Structure 1
Amino acid sequence: MNQSFIWRRQALKFAASALCAAALPAVAQGAAAGPIRLALIESMSGPFANTGEAVFRNLLWAVERVNARGGVKLPGGARRLELVRYDSKGQNEEALSALRAAIDDGARIVLQGNSSATAAALLDAIDKNNERDPQRRVLFLNYSAVDPVLTNERCSFWHFRFDAHADMRVTALMDVVKDEAALQRVYLIGQDYSFGQAVLRESRRQLGVLRPDVQIVGDELHPMGRVKDFAPYASKILASGAQAVVTGNWGNDLTLLVKAAREAGFNGSFYTFYGNALGAPAAIGDAGIGRVIAVADWLPNVQTAASEDFYRAFRTRFPKPSEDYVHMRMQLVIEALAQAMERAGSVDTVAVARAMERADVTLAGQRGRMRAADHQFQQQLVVGVMDRQGAPGVKFDVEGSGYGFRVVKTVAAERAEMPTICRMQRP
């Protein structure tokens, strides 16, 4: 059984207000109810440990913010949130073991996102658990697993996704690609599992519709998390004559890919889902200026005062350059959860899920709402292009690299929204 580690803090220092607030004591609900336990199931060791730790920091900050304002307000009294981490070690079986441990430990809210394959395995197990054991039903809050099937063919009443799914992200990227008249040759590469396959599949489809003149000169998948040397892949990209690479790679699989491409002499563009963090900008260096494009729900250089305050507050809480990985959607997950519990007036799983279907939250100017039909969160997307810090529109860099991302396109939530084929079965 996985061991869990609980990181608790009694005070939160806000950058903007310098407000310190002691966490409220647990208030009895029935018999001395304690904090509301949230189980984070992620890779905390292995090749993707950096992604798990980065997610943990985001969710911890969000939990601290809720606790600092008094916790979740319920009829029996306010209750704090408590974030508990379980190490999946990047393996589905370990994730399922962690899920069983979390349920036994009293968690009824599970958070995961780094790997759609793991998300699918957890979702299947949660569906079965909730049918067999209604007294220990669990909600699954997904912040990053973006395989479209999770809110389409495999949609579930117990699952809520807060990231734009792969087809939505591809659409935002292709909105930039379609205007690049000089682009004629594209190389597609991705991780060989459900998400990577979905990105390449939708990229092929949309290129055929939007830019039928573009030639796809490479189309391949590689083992996820097992490639240590991407030089052979970089050589093939270079030999293909590609002017751009489209990839959904994340974590070390992205960092090592762009680094190998740079070292091989590739001077084309990278259209990415995650090229704006976790070592990728530093790895590609000057070669990425004007050439690395990333799509996200939010970027630090969104030009509003509220956004800037939000980012500065995160950097105050986590000042190390290596900790510079903040995602607005991960903050909105916790805000939506607190809102749903307060609307439900309960922590009952079914009541919270029904309230979550109506979630509508705003933080630092970023608004998102949950679509009840398939539990796919709807929010604006932005596309950014890498440039040196200090260039117009690049006030903040990434991870102390000296490079940041200038927002070049904002896609309104209404435009980013896509139809669903979900047939939700509700209890």
Structure 2
Amino acid sequence: MTKFSPLVVTVASVAAMTGALAPVVASAAETVKIAWIDSLSGVMGALGQNELRTWQYVADLATQKNWAGDGTKFEVVGFDNKLSPQESLILLKQAADQGFRYIAQGNGSAVGMALEDAVGKYNGRNPGKEIIYLNYAAVDPDMTNSKCNYWHFRLDANSDMKMEALTSYLAKDKNIKKVYLINQNYSFGHQVARAAKEYLKRKRPDIEIAGEDLHPLAQVKDFSPYVSKIKSSGADTVITGNWGSDLALLIKAAKDAGLGANFYTYYGYATGVPTAMGSAGADRVKYVGYWNVNNDGFKGSDIVDGFKKKYNDDFYLIAPYTGLAMLAKAINQTKSTEPAKVAKAFEGMKVDSLNGSFEMRASDHQGQQPLYIATWKKTDGKAVKYDQENTGYGWKTDAVLDQYVASQPTTCQMKRP
């Protein structure tokens, strides 16, 4: 995938010799194709649909606005992995065979780790045909620590960074006495539970861990037994990394049972959860993330409004914006779409995203950016202008933490080609 096709070079060479064609020859704009490998079916399908639309919407924007500066076009094609690592590896091979040189994935660190390893091995076997993995939401810290790979770039904050921010905020609330941990039973959920216990012990040793549960990913249909345990524990606060249907169903069960505990979440804003919360979540559900559409000084209203108009859906995921801004900038700088050149340009790159300044740290390819704490509130046209899922409720920013607050050291020993 070079900037000039062999045909154009040949014509240009003839033109240089004859002079006859020189005034009319120009390089054809290239299309950079990104294979989006994530779930489009099953219980997590609605979440995946929103995410794919977001990638495609921003890709169209980058094309229309000529972000790369040379007419380069961007196209995102969806591949349904059914939330399966094994299926994802099959799709990676299919994408590679079809000439895709960039992939994007985010739902599930088990899938992310499988792809990260596979992309590294593929690139080692296929010099000159490398693939870059743009990770927009798989946040297990190991992916940019012990398992770091040169061809993997994480656009989201990892779970330790988010827990650092969340517990720094939570620790200031002296009303919190007992915390219950409930998470999905795979690598990411384990990391959330571990970090919560470690960081709370450091910042608020007086807080009691009232209970802890790990449940199967995307398999529980009724969370009422878990909510009953939370209620019996006397916990005033729940910390969960649950996402997708697992969080929506957990919140619904808590609402149905009249659980009065506050929820500190990673993904309270994601598809399905706002509807499940409705008014019952007001003032009680918070999230830690890298953006809030209702921030002071917000930029990107045209994107949010345009997305809503086109899809009747909410634009809440800005990692695709950040990733495509980086990709366009790298193409502009290197005058190439070749992954080997783009990857090198990515290291240490800074771009302006919708949440402010974003930096791709060179040492481990972990994105560094501000983090936000927000609370579910009734819209008021001011602090909470945008609602979600037509509920009349949205997110009010409680705190903005500069990137250095949540930044974590890395154990990554990057092996560069």
Report what 2:157 is aligned to: 164
Report what 1:20 is aligned to: none
Question: Retained in 2: the 8 A contact 1:113–1:145?
Answer: yes
Report what 2:275 is aligned to: 282
Q: Report SS of the residue matched to 2:363.
A: coil
Q: Report SS of the residue matched to 1:47.
A: helix
d(CA) in 2 for partners of 1:259 and 1:223? 18
Question: Retained in 2: the 8 A contact 1:51–1:114?
Answer: no
Shift of 1:350: 1.2
Question: Retained in 1: the 8 A contact 2:165–2:405?
Answer: no
Question: Retained in 2: the 8 A contact 1:356–1:370?
Answer: yes
Report what 2:14 is aligned to: none
Report what 2:178 is aligned to: 185
Shift of 1:50: 1.3
d(CA) in 2 for partners of 1:304 and 1:185? 36
Range with greater deviation from structure 2 (92-101 or 309-318): 309-318
Report what 1:69 is aligned to: 65
Identity %: 38
Q: Report SS of the residue matched to 2:248.
A: helix
d(CA) in 2 for partners of 1:406 and 1:58? 22
Report what 1:35 is aligned to: 31
Q: Report SS of the residue matched to 1:367.
A: strand
1:114-136 superposed Cα distances (whole Å, 9 cap, x missing partner): 11000000011111111111132
Shift of 1:277: 2.7
Report what 1:239 is aligned to: 232
Shift of 1:307: 4.3
Range with greater deviation from structure 2 (144-153 or 173-182): 173-182
Shift of 1:90: 1.1
Matched, 1:358 2:348: yes
Report what 2:52 is aligned to: 56
d(CA) in 1 for partners of 2:134 and 2:324? 9
Matched, 1:369 2:371: no
Question: Retained in 1: the 8 A contact 2:101–2:132?
Answer: yes
- Summarize the Cα distance change of 1:364–1:220 in structure 2 as closer, same or farther, 3 Å threshold: closer
Q: Report SS of the residue matched to 1:63.
A: helix
Question: Retained in 2: the 8 A contact 1:360–1:369?
Answer: yes
Q: Report SS of the residue matched to 1:263.
A: helix
Count of matched residue pairs: 396
Amino acid at match of 1:410: V
Q: Report SS of the residue matched to 2:124.
A: helix
Shift of 1:416: 2.2
Question: Retained in 1: the 8 A contact 2:269–2:316?
Answer: no
Range with greater deviation from structure 2 (414-423 or 108-117): 414-423
d(CA) in 2 for partners of 1:176 and 1:87? 37
1:367-413 superposed Cα distances (whole Å, 9 cap, x missing partner): 21111010011111111011111176111111111111100000011
Shift of 1:351: 0.8
1:123-162 matched pairs, under 5 angstroms: 123-162=116-155
d(CA) in 2 for partners of 1:187 and 1:392? 33
Q: Report SS of the residue matched to 2:42.
A: coil
1:37-91 superposed Cα distances (whole Å, 9 cap, x missing partner): 11100101112111211111111111011110236345xxx33112111110111
Report what 1:334 is aligned to: 324
d(CA) in 2 for partners of 1:351 and 1:241? 55
Amino acid at match of 1:53: Q
Instruction: Report the TM-score, using the length of structure 2 for normalisation.
Output: 0.91
Question: Retained in 2: the 8 A contact 1:301–1:308?
Answer: no
Please list every run of 5 or more consecutive structure 1 residues that lacks an aligned counterpart in the other structure: 1-25
- Summarize the Cα distance change of 1:142–1:117 in structure 2 as closer, same or farther, 3 Å threshold: same
1:383-402 matched pairs, under 5 angstroms: 383-390=373-380, 393-402=383-392
Shift of 1:327: 1.6
Please list every run of 5 or more consecutive structure 2 residues that lacks an aligned counterpart in the other structure: 9-27
Q: CA RMSD in A?
A: 1.7
- Summarize the Cα distance change of 1:146–1:305 in structure 2 as closer, same or farther, 3 Å threshold: closer
Shift of 1:365: 5.9
Matched, 1:202 2:212: no
Q: Which runs of 4+ in 1 moved over 4 A?
A: none
1:248 aligned to which of 221, 241, 245: 241
Question: Retained in 2: the 8 A contact 1:310–1:364?
Answer: no
d(CA) in 2 for partners of 1:183 and 1:107? 49
Report what 1:343 is aligned to: 333
- Summarize the Cα distance change of 1:365–1:93 in structure 2 as closer, same or farther, 3 Å threshold: closer
Matched, 1:228 2:228: no
Amino acid at match of 1:86: F
Question: Retained in 2: the 8 A contact 1:369–1:379?
Answer: yes
Amino acid at match of 1:151: T
d(CA) in 2 for partners of 1:96 and 1:295? 31
d(CA) in 1 for partners of 2:52 and 2:280? 31
1:93-112 superposed Cα distances (whole Å, 9 cap, x missing partner): 11001000000000010100
Q: Report SS of the residue matched to 1:270.
A: strand
Amino acid at match of 1:72: A
Amino acid at match of 1:382: Y
Question: Retained in 1: the 8 A contact 2:43–2:245?
Answer: yes
Report what 2:400 is aligned to: 410
Larger Rg computed on CA atoms: 2
Shift of 1:28: 5.0
